[in-house]
Structure 1
Amino acid sequence: MAQIIKIQDCISRYEQDPYHYINQFIRLKKQRWQSIKEMAEKKKDSLHYDKEAADDETVGKRKKTFTLKRKKEASDINKGKEADEWFNGLDGETDESLIARIPAAREELVSFFKEYVYEFQLKWASSTISDISRLSREIKSDKILHILAQQLPDSYFIMYRPVLQVNQAAVELSVLILTPLEIYCISFLEGEKDSAFIGSKDRFWKEKTVRGRERSLLNPAVELLRTGTVLSGLLKGSGIELPVRKVVVSRTSYIDYPEPPYGIGICDKRHWKEWLEKQQKNFAPIKSQQLKTAKILLSHGVSDSMRRQEWLS
């Protein structure tokens, strides 16, 4: 799973200490995965045990024993101070309620774990110990962010339409994906299924649906070129030599643009899965230039947040 290090103008704990949190993510995720697997196995055994005890004369006593056992397992799931801070400190969910949600079936466990981590990633990218930002309903239900976070490798960093301070002005950029080998600036076009986006060098593009409807939208290349210019300015003189790829992407629609501007790539539904699979096969570890890039960009992040209630007293 990729690391979400910035969402729009939300405060992020990565902004405080990017090296620490980026380096801890993979290890803590592995640790939590192991703990949850153990809990799922114990829950499966306990359910089997409880079923066998249903007709037993001492069922009341055994249920009491099972309750005590679950309490012990609940304390075992949080192994280590860091795991407790990352996975429990922001949510308030009790260990027993978490165990109750864990599926006993192994085939359901991976999906559960990905959703579980994603929920916390949204919290990590919108809060710190003392401050919190409000995530919009659109972000909470955003399919693109969900797909990127769950399907890209751990070594990828996502800055989702980050708002950065540039020359005393706040500027919202396109989606940034910092990989170990390059930087992607992506403008996602979400249209009706199988519609066609007609590209041009004009200010507006058109989307034509299979039902014959048309709508206009801003030329996504403009946003990408602006994002590329901002990146170049912020990284100038840093010694970072990561290639910057600017791409217009549509997962479910076609893009008709035979001659896009120089430096702008096109990836529509005919190539989306291929692009995603290529990223998933990138086993390169986190690189120093990638970390340095993340630190520089996060240092310019704009954050709209409020003090947590417990910190106001």
Structure 2
Amino acid sequence: MAQIIKIQDCISRYEQDPYHYMNQYIRLKKQRWQSMVDISKEKEAAQFLQSQSIEEEKGHQKKFLLKRKKDTSDIKTSNEMNGQLFNSLDKDLNESFFARIPVDRKDLLSFFKEYIYEFQLKWASSTISDISKLSREIKNDKILQILAQQLPDSYFLMYRPVLQVNQATAELSTIILTPLEIFCVVFLEGERESVFDGSKKRFWKEKTVRGVEKSVLNPSTELLRTGSIVTGLLKKANIDLPIHKVIISRTSFIDYPDPPYGIEVFDRRQWSDWLAKHKKNIAPIKNQQLKTAKLLLSYGVSDSKRRKEWLN
């Protein structure tokens, strides 16, 4: 699961000490996955003991009465172990969360990804002393969730970050820092199976399957600006990493026969392949990647307020 290091103008823990939190994220993620796996196994064992006791009760009531003390003791021991593992997850988790941890491994993986995603949103919008308000749009943003849950741990996400460069504030397109290269990406979320007609004009046309036409800003403009700003910052810091500029639509087709030089286009026909390729990237975090993340975060704009407990 990729690390969300910046969301728009939200304050982020990564801004304070990127190297520390990037390493801590991977360590905590492994620990919490193992804790949930252990809890799931203990719950499965407890359920088996309970079902076994019920079966015995049907034909061997007397034996069951003698054996019940031991079974109850086993279940109690199992519950005590669950509690210890549960306490190791997080201070703010409660018993209702523990009760929702699935036994089935496939369900557990989905549950874990949801948990880590919510955990990441907290890290990307707060510090120990300050907090930013996440908009409903961000909380429900499908693209952000897909990228965070599908890309590897070694990928860093800056989701439409707001940077202060040369005394000017600019909201950029999404920046994905991989171990060996950088992707500046604009995502076009249109109606399913609609067609975006690309051109050099300021506005593109989206044609829906219902025959409705909509106007959208030409994504190339934002993408070229983002690429130019990132290139300039890296050049000043003597960081040499390839920068790719990409337009992606996972829902629609893009008809853009002559895009500007250096811009790649992936629509609903290639989106899955693009994502699958990056999911398979097993390269570890690199030093140049860390330097780039720290550099870009140093230009980040943060709109936050003091937590109530820190006001006194």
In structure 1, what is the equivalent of residue 60 of structure 2? none
Identity %: 64
Q: 3-state DSSP class of the match of 2:28? A: helix
Task: Compute the displacement of 1:237 (Å).
Answer: 2.6
Q: Do residues 98 (structure 1) and 97 (structure 2) align?
A: yes
Give per-residue Cα distances to partners, 1:135-181, cap 9 Å, x unaligned.
11111111100110111111100000001111222210000000011
Q: Distance in 2 between matches of 1:64 and 1:141?
A: 45
Q: 1:199 to 1:48 in 2, by over 3 A?
A: same
Q: 3-state DSSP class of the match of 1:236? A: helix
Q: Do residues 115 (structure 1) and 114 (structure 2) align?
A: yes
Task: Compute the displacement of 1:274 (Å).
Answer: 1.0
Structure 2 regions of 5+ residues with no counterpart? 58-63
Structure 2 counterparts to residues 119-198 of structure 1, below 5 A: 119-198=118-197
Q: 3-state DSSP class of the match of 1:73? A: helix
TM-score (norm 2): 0.91
Structure 1 regions of 5+ residues with no counterpart? none
Q: Distance in 2 between matches of 1:78 and 1:178?
A: 34
TM-score (norm 1): 0.91
In structure 2, what is the equivalent of residue 73 of structure 1? 82
Q: Distance in 2 between matches of 1:66 and 1:77?
A: 16
Give per-residue Cα distances to partners, 1:81-131, cap 9 Å, x unaligned.
xxx6xxx25xx222x333211001122111111111111011111111111
Letter in 2 for 1:13: R
Q: 3-state DSSP class of the match of 1:177? A: strand
Q: Do residues 296 (structure 1) and 295 (structure 2) align?
A: yes
Task: Compute the displacement of 1:32 (Å).
Answer: 1.3
Task: Compute the displacement of 1:66 (Å).
Answer: 4.3
In structure 2, what is the equivalent of residue 14 of structure 1? 14
What RMSD in Å do the two structures reach over aligned CA positions? Answer: 1.9
Q: Distance in 2 between matches of 1:71 and 1:15?
A: 39
Q: 1:227 to 1:41 in 2, by over 3 A?
A: same
**Residues 231 and 243 in structure 2, CA contact (< 8 A), matched pair in contact too:** no
Q: 3-state DSSP class of the match of 1:232? A: helix
Q: Distance in 2 between matches of 1:309 and 1:169?
A: 31
- The higher radius of gyration belongs to 2
Q: 3-state DSSP class of the match of 1:186? A: strand
Structure 2 counterparts to residues 51-70 of structure 1, below 5 A: 51-53=51-53, 66=75, 69-70=78-79
In structure 2, what is the equivalent of residue 4 of structure 1? 4
Task: Compute the displacement of 1:74 (Å).
Answer: 2.1
Task: Compute the displacement of 1:67 (Å).
Answer: 5.6
In structure 1, what is the equivalent of residue 280 of structure 2? 281
**Residues 174 and 186 in structure 2, CA contact (< 8 A), matched pair in contact too:** yes
Q: 3-state DSSP class of the match of 1:212? A: coil
Q: Do residues 233 (structure 1) and 242 (structure 2) align?
A: no
Letter in 1 for 2:231: S
Q: Distance in 2 between matches of 1:39 and 1:76?
A: 6
Q: Distance in 2 between matches of 1:136 and 1:304?
A: 12
In structure 2, what is the equivalent of residue 307 of structure 1? 306
Q: How many residues align?
A: 303
